[in-house]
Structure 1
């Protein structure tokens, strides 16, 4: 069993520390402690890694502070916002920390969302400055074609920030109570059910690790596995999880983040990072190992050899406050900490919705910092409880994944679609037909030319029949799938993806509303 740390850490008063001020303190009191471990050569990880200390990090942040002061346009209002997008490198956390020190707001639009969605985020955050490297001038220019009020600024090179020459120190001016509710970072939702929505994180929301460390009565979770350990995640800092790992985990919990090359990692690259970066722990996306979500087969192979812990959260609620359990058999179940205020309310059959309820004794309820005027937050996540071990829960999908039909019955589409996706030529499957008497199957193929001819279509339907039959084994007669209600995605209408790469269910079904209607009008 891996030895875990106990909190509070010696000599530290947790729970009321502004992150950017804590970076300053780490640089002053523990200057040689490692913040990040980065490859010496991104093209040859076998050359080893170099440590970037907190003193070097804080110096880079101060260089970035002075660069922002010189380059941002004058602003009359406090908390001026600016957007930043760039390659996967350390400019993200350095500029983020600099923004926090300067009491600016850094907006983090994902390049994977459509330009119209990016412009909507810029508009909602009153953002009139977009910082990007020179290599992205054309890309960002195309995004801003219909936003002439947004000014582009070329970002500094990373080397000009992570330089040895000392920057003039710039000290964050506020104490905890004065600055905790100030806005700092804007991330956005994935856009599963519509356009991504901007979510503003305050300094207090980014201090969740430190607040947890101040609680005397919590069970082990990620915090306890951080001090003195080397963590890796492939998630970039433009995402909330990546930014939390590189800023909060390192600064508050005294872990070191090991980084990899800027390109999307393959499984082989991750193995090399583990080996040459001397990684102790990792926060990985399931797709790197198998698929999303992690299959039972792959998890069962891993669980005897590592402590395999599901991690889940949302942009609005942050990382869910759960326990770290070592459980080779029921590794895919989650147990919540009592400070989360998690309640599971019955919805349909054995399905329950996770609801966070505001309770005065619960100290880890980030969603109520975001929405201070509500006392309950319905996540729309559906869970099932372990059949014999009460208090253990497994997420199975979203409320949106439930398909109600006109006769009052319905099916949980998300549990059935993976059966169709087992077909080697199927890229994705969706079950739709909300409010119709019978469900409709939509199939996106890897190669839509396979069904370009009538003969090809009939051959593909025939090859799909065994998979449809397998789905129907789990369905009542009134909700069974049929080849007669099958639509192949085509004509340039590929399923819409979220920034996570998953299919955006409702927007994708909306693309085919006319085809779905035609099935029932003709019958």
Structure 2
């Protein structure tokens, strides 16, 4: 943001500056109607600033005007849940202008999860659109003192009507430690918790990193910042995710990336390859174009002629959330389209992965001396990415736990054979299973609930990158009194324990009898010397039985093993690719 004086680098001030000095500069493309075919219109910085001000005045009208002596160290938290449209962006900016901070819970939270977020954030009011008010019904029965306010249609904010500007005069020095917004994460207990995002994080860990990348030598430029620069990108990620916010709120300011907001009523959930083809057909295009997709959709596009033609319209495709197989990545690269993983987390932000040659899409190089990130030896040839606290560190793990000196990302890496400085992602030391739809759940919490029933001796739940999870069960002697007891009878005995745990899972994540695999007598789930489960060893030991269960249930073969790692045949990928496990994450 070299065009903006540094003291005006807080986001609302930056938009106001550009609205004054570059009023016709493009910020985003917004839909004209409910269908892609209805077309899009350009939202300039002048129109964007006017929409933020309209939203700010509305917030004051329903919540009260900002006090003259606003205590920025204790800003009012305003939770909002709505459709995936531009109101999320407007509320983030307008809350900052009015001396508040938005909290963006996931719409998929349970009522108990929402109550937890409300209590931990000391919220006194919640916002929702008409179609999302029902999500607050049960939580507010438990917290009836909290007000529910219905949010008007987006046309109330985005319009050409004249209105009085809403002044924002807070400088960077004054507001560097203000909370910019509040996200959420699901902790190891399974309940979500608020995650504060500070302006210091936005300034020093995103904006400054982009500026340094732009000035670096070509081999030391961060892939995400290079690719996003001046690129038109469909906004396909949930706007309550850090990744979704980065593509609509943060990166557009300093990379000039143009988010293409989609008509929410037409977007299928989960996203389909056919809809991506329609975006390519009807959506606006720039001189540079990119798209972020989950690997499942990328595979679907790469498998038919129309999908391949769609991919060729983009300069690059990014993936995240689960691994992309070698076959698909190589096929897209051969079309002349760059493939890139975007990796990061709500806790630590974007990993500054450097831009490689296109044929090395499945390998990663890390920026050196990068905000305390380092690779810590984990086991055998595996290394875990960790981060050491830095002075005045604004990253959430260190704000939440002031005594923490190191945060472990749980991302595992393996050195690429014969390629010094190149690393292959090797999965996660993770409690969570992430399905192909990006639905994510805490497998450890579910396992513990099932194991609380004495009918189950031990169990392991997995299924990364699959459509449905599976469960491997070591039955108790009560469930399988004899080695010859039929499997159907054993599953029938243990099923009530599994069914009770299913109540805590979304429909697509629920365990099924057809994907329930029993351990064999004499081959129990493997324990480590510490008494914990050796998940990797156990799952590989039962890989054949697990794959047989998927095949018998009618699921198509996948190009991953039971650990969610891509499979490459020994005689394939001899074009210079190191064998490994490419992966990306979007949280």
The TM-score by the shorter chain falls in which range?
0.7 to 0.9
**C-alpha distance 366-385 of structure 1, shift in aligned 2 (>3 A):** farther
Which of 253, 257, 260 is residue 259 of structure 2 equivalent to?
A: 257
Deviates more, 1:61-70 or 1:369-378: 369-378
Which of 352, 355, 358 is residue 386 of structure 2 equivalent to?
A: 355
Write the distance in 1 (CA, Å) between the matches of 2:101 and 2:180: 5
Q: Does 1:71 align with 2:62?
A: yes
Aligned to 2:176: 180
Aligned to 2:42: 51
Q: Does 1:17 align with 2:2?
A: no
Deviates more, 1:54-63 or 1:207-216: 207-216
Would you say the 8 A contact 2:248–2:259 is kept in 1? yes
Aligned to 2:418: 388
How far does residue 270 in structure 1 lie from its aligned partner after superposition?
1.5
Q: How many positions carry a matched residue from both structures?
A: 445
Would you say the 8 A contact 2:233–2:257 is kept in 1? yes
* Residue aligned with 1:272, SS: helix
Aligned to 1:26: 18
Deviates more, 1:69-78 or 1:337-346: 69-78
Q: Deviations over 1:419-451 (max 9, x none)?
A: 9x6xxxx82124577xxxxxx999999999995
Taking structure 1 as the reference length, the TM-score comes to 0.74
Write the distance in 2 (CA, Å) between the matches of 1:193 and 1:390: 39
**C-alpha distance 42-293 of structure 1, shift in aligned 2 (>3 A):** farther
Q: Deviations over 1:9-60 (max 9, x none)?
A: 5x456698111110111111111111111233332x2443211111111101
Gaps of 5+ in 1: 1-7, 405-412, 434-439, 452-456, 469-473, 489-502, 504-523
Q: Does 1:285 align with 2:282?
A: no
Would you say the 8 A contact 1:344–1:354 is kept in 2? yes
Aligned to 1:427: 468
Coordinate RMSD, CA, aligned: 4.2
* Residue aligned with 1:289, SS: helix
Would you say the 8 A contact 1:106–1:186 is kept in 2? yes
Aligned to 1:499: none
Aligned to 1:334: 364
**C-alpha distance 232-450 of structure 1, shift in aligned 2 (>3 A):** closer
Write the distance in 2 (CA, Å) between the matches of 1:118 and 1:232: 29
Aligned to 1:500: none
Q: Does 1:198 align with 2:228?
A: no
**C-alpha distance 447-170 of structure 1, shift in aligned 2 (>3 A):** closer
5 Å-filtered alignment, 1:77-476, equals 78-191=74-187, 194-207=190-203, 208-215=205-212, 216-217=215-216, 218-262=220-264, 263=267, 264=269, 265-276=271-282, 277-278=284-285, 280-290=289-299, 292-304=322-334, 305-328=336-359, 330-338=360-368, 339-358=370-389, 374-400=404-430, 427-431=468-472
How far does residue 314 in structure 1 lie from its aligned partner after superposition?
1.0
Write the distance in 2 (CA, Å) between the matches of 1:447 and 1:246: 29
Which of 27, 46, 51 is residue 60 of structure 1 equivalent to?
A: 51
Write the distance in 1 (CA, Å) between the matches of 2:471 and 2:516: 16
* Residue aligned with 2:293, SS: coil
**C-alpha distance 446-373 of structure 1, shift in aligned 2 (>3 A):** closer
Write the distance in 1 (CA, Å) between the matches of 2:511 and 2:420: 50
**C-alpha distance 384-247 of structure 1, shift in aligned 2 (>3 A):** same
Would you say the 8 A contact 2:517–2:546 is kept in 1? no
Would you say the 8 A contact 1:368–1:375 is kept in 2? yes
Q: Deviations over 1:117-160 (max 9, x none)?
A: 11101111111111111232333213322121211011122101
Aligned to 2:526: none
